[in-house]
Structure 1
Amino acid sequence: MNRYAALLRGIMPTNPNMKNDKLRAVFEGLGFEKVATLLSSGNVVFRCADTDVPELEARIQEALNRELGIPGGTIIRSYEELRALLDRDPFEGLAHQRGSYLTVTFFKDPEPQAEPPELVDELTRIIGYDKPSRAFLTVIDNSTPQTTNFMAWLDKTYGKDITTRTWLTIQKIVKKLEA
């Protein structure tokens, strides 16, 4: 059985159709095994024999839209991809804390169509693009009340086939997949 994490875009826990129990029910209805959710932000881990990830993404997204009215995007990464990202330790020496909020933005497409700029704003430091995981790695300074423009820049530049998670969330997802 293959182990996967579905990273769902646009999940709002306040929406009754986006609650973890309903998300799990959709995945279980698709015949996936060991379905579990993590946090309330659209992280679903599961196991299945399928290996065609784009087909899995489409199948899951169609079911979420049909059954729960969730139009957002579905991005899947395998356990092996996420484990390898953690093992590469791209944030070496940095801690996820106030002033250094470590984030990973996953792309559905194999390669982003535009290179990130050197500077999006003074609150965001781009570590780089991690090709094997198809993700931008960034450090966001959230020690001030000022808001970064990074998320808006990502959406404007790359569209909706992306989703961002904190480094801590990625660590929790991998731990859940290992259980």
Structure 2
Amino acid sequence: MSTRYAALLRGIAPSNPNMTNDKLRGVFEGLGFDSVASVLASGNIVFSARKAGVPALQRRIQRALNGALGIPGGTIVREHAELRALLDRDPFPGLTHGRGTYLTATFLKDGAQAPDRLPEQSDPRARVVGFDESARVFLAVIDNSDPGSIPDFMSWLEKTYGADITTRAWLTVQRIVKKLES
């Protein structure tokens, strides 16, 4: 029986000829995965595969991406059911994605240590609103209404939690789930 997955690839630059959606999909198809599709041009690949341990699946995909395309970045995989449940929990109640409320989800790699408490961020324009333990994801609201002064939230997260993370806009997470369900 097949399971639907989303691979969230870190460090994808669509302008790099080795990081185009068609090449990324080709690597996944070469691994024998079915129903491979991309979501946007920023390293989001959905696919079907036999049920497998996520850490082993992440390593297998990352080795293939590095070997075939020279992509050294991280690969974070989530099952469709995990992402669907995250959306159903409505972690941003009453908030809508916009300039002053840019909703983000920062996924930790499987095996990464969950925080004992929510991290404090020194910039009041970036606020962690929760950590969803089942999906292993930080949920944050960023005020980017002043383009000349956007908080450097991603660098702060990486300094605090290391490079085994990747961030997506909440709208992108919603699009990934929709693609997994189509």
TM-score class, shorter: over 0.9
Supply the AA of the counterpart residue of 1:131.
E
Distance 1:14 1:91 in 2: 32
State TM-score, norm by structure 2: 0.95
Alignment check: 8 A CA contact 2:37 2:46 kept: yes
- Shift of residue 115, structure 1, vs aligned partner: 4.2
Distance 1:157 1:118 in 2: 10
Match of 1:10 in 2: 11
Tell me the matched-pair count. Answer: 179
- Shift of residue 50, structure 1, vs aligned partner: 3.2
Distance 1:120 1:32 in 2: 43
- Shift of residue 175, structure 1, vs aligned partner: 0.4
Supply the AA of the counterpart residue of 2:34.
E
- Shift of residue 52, structure 1, vs aligned partner: 1.1
SS at match of 1:39: coil
RMSD: 1.2
Correspondences of 1:134-153 after superposition (within 5 Å): 134-144=136-146, 145-153=148-156
- Shift of residue 112, structure 1, vs aligned partner: 3.1
Cα deviation code 1:55-95 (max 9, x no counterpart):
11000000000000000000000000000000000001000
State TM-score, norm by structure 1: 0.96
Alignment check: 8 A CA contact 2:114 2:133 kept: no
Alignment check: 8 A CA contact 2:99 2:144 kept: yes
Cα deviation code 1:23-82 (max 9, x no counterpart):
000000000000000101000000011321111100000000000000000000000000
- Shift of residue 114, structure 1, vs aligned partner: 6.6
Q: 1:155 to 1:30 in 2, by over 3 A?
A: same
Supply the AA of the counterpart residue of 1:149.
D
Match of 1:65 in 2: 66
Percent identity between matched residues is 62
Distance 1:38 1:176 in 2: 7
Match of 1:93 in 2: 94
Supply the AA of the counterpart residue of 1:160.
A
- Shift of residue 119, structure 1, vs aligned partner: 3.0
Match of 1:178 in 2: 181
Match of 1:129 among 128, 131, 143: 131
